[in-house]
Amino acid sequence: MEENCIFCKIARGDIPSATLYEDEDLRVILDLGPASKGHALVIPKKHAANLFELPDETAQKAIVVAKRVAAKLKEGLHADGLNLVQNNGAAAGQTVDHFHIHLIPRYEGDTVNVGWTPGELNDADKEEILELFR
Ligand code: AMP
Ligand code: ZN
């Protein structure tokens, strides 16, 4: 529990939320500023600022819960698709520094924007990146 972390307080139940699922490790709530109908957040109860601080065990549990809740949202709301979005760092759009996974149901013709303009993979970048993993 981090002092002044809103998602710690929500995950622990100190601040009420529209909870879709809860277990001893995770809470799934409706986002208060939804990108689309059904936009939900998977939030671990134990504070981790981002993906890089998240214990492997919590990461495993979070993705399984995300999968289950995503399936129920998609079916129950008759969505046509669904994005999982997970932001790390302000440069990546993270505004709440407590790890969370967005579940964003998508509907044909909606105006949700989670896209980018494709670039082109150049040889120098490709070599530099492949070298990191050799
Ligand atoms: P991110 O930009 O990835 O850090 O996402 C933070 C998300 O948390 C945004 O989609 C906000 O709408 C949402 N959010 C912030 N405060 C609350 C809150 N008190 N209850 C529910 N959702 C929240
Ligand atoms: Zn927190």
- Measured from the CB, is residue 31 less than 6 Å from ligand 1? yes
| Ligand 1 centre distance from Cα of residue 129 (Å) | 32
| Ligand 2 centre distance from Cα of residue 89 (Å) | 15
Task: Give residue-wise pLDDT tens across range 34-82.
Answer: 999 999 999 999 999 999 999 999 999 999 999 999 999 999 999 999 9
Is the confidence at residue 1, as pLDDT, over 80?
A: no
CA dihedral (65, 67, 113, 100) in degrees, to 10, reads 20
Indicate which residues carry an active-site annotation: 100
- Measured from the CB, is residue 96 less than 6 Å from ligand 1? yes
Q: What is the pTM of this model?
A: 0.97
Measured from the alpha carbon of residue 3, the closest ligand is 2
| Ligand 1 centre distance from Cα of residue 31 (Å) | 6
Is the confidence at residue 127, as pLDDT, over 90?
A: yes
CA dihedral (123, 125, 128, 134) in degrees, to 10, reads -80
CB neighbour list of residue 88: distance below 8 Å, 6 or more residues apart: 50, 51, 52, 94
Ordered strands of the 101-106 beta sheet: 19-22, 26-30, 40-44, 101-106, 81-85
Q: What is the pLDDT of residue 95?
A: 98
Atom of ligand 1 nearest to the CA of 86: 3
Q: What is the pLDDT of residue 3?
A: 83
Q: What is the pLDDT of residue 133?
A: 98
| Ligand 2 centre distance from Cα of residue 103 (Å) | 19
Mean pLDDT along residues 10-33: 98
Q: What is the pLDDT of residue 2?
A: 83
The residue whose C-alpha atom lies closest to atom 18 belonging to ligand 1 is 32
- Measured from the CB, is residue 84 less than 6 Å from ligand 1? no
